Amino acid sequence: MTYRVCFVCTGNICRSPMAEHVFRARVEEAGLGGAVEVDSAGTGGWHEGDGADPRTVAVLEEHGYSSGHTARQFRASWFPALDLVVALDEGHLHDLRRLARTPDEAAKVRLLRSYDPAAGDALDVPDPYYGGSAGFEECLEMVEAASGGLLDAIRTALRGNEPMERTP
């Protein structure tokens, strides 16, 4: 069984590609590369075909992650093939749940930081696009902090149990 996860932000050039690359590295480190597929997309198509924002690429590479990426827009037709759709903020969560065609599809959408127990009630990963490099570093820290809990939830799902997470 292959577990498929897709990270989603607004334009698929900052937060979601960062989450995709960080999480893919965690999956590989855990020896689950053959069992988990990791992808990303945006709620909008403004940047379709573009690479990741240069600041995203710089932060990823500075911290030893891969950075190759081509932006694309999330499609409702993808839901059946996905096991988990990970939203980077509440706006994405609501957009994706509205896009879902069934309650089961809507239930696949979760917030990334809901997998980070230290996040408390602050479950949004702020959009770094309009700021400087510090915002991209903060984004990376939040993504890395949530990746362990997400990996644990997927391991649980792969064993045939429902992932345990806080529901926003």
Check if 127 is active-site: yes
The Cα 40–Cα 157 span in angstroms is: 20
Q: Which one, of 73, 75, 74, 80, lies nearest residue 104 by Cα?
A: 80
Q: Which one, of 3, 15, 27, 47, lies nearest residue 112 by Cα?
A: 15
Q: What homologous superfamily is domain 3-158 in, according to CATH?
A: Response regulator (3.40.50.2300)
Check if 15 is active-site: yes
- What tens-digit pLDDT sequence spans the chain (168 residues)? 799 999 999 999 999 999 999 999 999 999 999 999 999 999 999 999 999 999 999 999 999 999 999 999 999 999 999 999 999 999 999 999 999 999 999 999 999 999 999 999 999 999 999 999 999 999 999 999 999 999 999 999 999 855 444 444
Every domain of the chain and the residues it spans: 3-158
Which of 95, 127, 152, 155 is an active site residue?
127
Tell me if the pTM is above 0.85. yes
